[in-house]
Amino acid sequence: MQTHFDLIVFDWDGTLMDSAAAIVHAIQAASRDLGLPEPEEHRARHVIGLGLTDALQRAVPDLPEQEYPRMVERYRHHYLSRDHELTLFAGVREMMDELERRGFRLAVATGKSRLGLDRALAHSGLGEYFHALRCADQCHSKPHPQMLEELMAELGVPPERTLMIGDTTHDLQMAKNAGTGGLGVSYGAHPPEALLALEPLACLDSVEELRAWLLENA
């Protein structure tokens, strides 16, 4: 079987795990805890995928710099109180099984911390599928290309044989910055029109569509 890609890199939140609403809730609740105006949902959704401190700075621009650590602590409190309730999008495990059987190298590039990703991998049972991982506390935040560059170097795959899949413009801009293919999914944090503006190879509306596209085109 001829393939176009050897390495498929997934974002986590909003791409594999249905967690965007929980992230928005945690940002808004942390803002209330600090007596700050609660960011509207679209603003909170837009920062999903960034490293936590970068995300909170953008979501709550009036936050004084000395309050960043407290904001991070309150965000983590609210998010971790619900993260055990989060689930994978329907069809994700079956898709990963098929990609593994077909011999693709699989990786994750996420705005989560490594501790947070390790928790999510253990809870979801997906850890066994991935050959390499990069998180926001290991690299520059998206859309800087460092995560993808390090994954490609570690696994020995060039940009033209690498595909980045994500639900945010940060993911697709990172792919452009790294010179890899980019694939958008519209069922997560950012609307399809924003994803399409970055000219991904496709923008899929469900995991079922994503799986079908990968099996036919990757």
Residue 51, helix vs strand vs coil: coil
11 is catalytic: yes
Orientation of helix 169-178 relative to helix 146-155, angle to 10° = 60
Q: How many CB atoms lie within 10 A of CB 160?
A: 11
Region of residue 192 (left: phi > 0; alpha: psi -120 to 50; beta: else): alpha
Catalytic residue among 13, 18, 83, 171: 13
Catalytic residue among 11, 83, 167, 171: 11
Q: How many CB atoms lie within 10 A of CB 25?
A: 16
Residue 17 main-chain phi, psi, to 5 deg:
-110, 140
> CA-to-CA distance for 57 and 55, rounded, in angstroms?
5
> CA-to-CA distance for 179 and 159, rounded, in angstroms?
6
Listed in order, strand segments (DSSP E) in the chain are: 7-10, 105-109, 132-134, 162-166, 181-185, 203-204
DSSP 159-178: GGGEEEEESSHHHHHHHHHH
97 is catalytic: no
Catalytic residues: 11, 13
